[in-house]
């Protein structure tokens, strides 16, 4: 899981030793795009942001002529993702995704 530890120091020109440099927290980032995120999803030993997670699946845009519905909920969304041979909507994909538990220091 990608993270870095940051303190809350603001680097004030006139430091009054407020203690912010001792308060530390983890900032997590996606293993693919390296963008900071507060929610990560596990996929094939990687921890990914939602946008990168979605790109790991084949997707298709549907239109009025397409009769493919979400295999989980039966909705007719604009985009479907193929998971284990079935087409699911983005909401169902998110509910099926394994979230990474983020620990704080």
In a domain, residue 105? The reply is no
What pTM was estimated for this model as a whole? 0.76
DSSP 3-state helix, strand, coil percentages of the chain (rounded to 5)? 15, 30, 55
pLDDT value of residue 105: 34
Number of domains present in the structure of the chain: 1
pLDDT along the chain (105 residues), means of 10: 70 78 78 93 95 96 83 93 95 96 62
Residue 42 is part of which domain span? 2-99
pLDDT value of residue 90: 96
In a domain, residue 104? The reply is no
pLDDT value of residue 1: 56
pLDDT value of residue 81: 96
Q: Using alpha carbons, select from 71, 64, 105 the residue that is nearest to residue 88.
A: 71
């Amino acid at each position: 899981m990608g993270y870095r530890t940051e303190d809350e120091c603001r680097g004030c020109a006139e430091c009054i030793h407020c203690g912010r440099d001792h308060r530390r927290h983890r900032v997590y980032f996606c293993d693919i795009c390296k963008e900071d995120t507060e929610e990560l999803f596990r996929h094939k030993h990687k921890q990914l942001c939602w946008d990168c997670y979605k790109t790991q699946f084949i997707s298709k845009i549907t239109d009025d002529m397409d009769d493919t519905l979400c295999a989980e909920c039966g909705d007719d969304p604009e985009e479907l993702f193929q998971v284990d041979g079935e087409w699911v909507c983005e909401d169902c994909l998110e509910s099926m995704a394994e979230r990474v538990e983020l620990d704080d220091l």
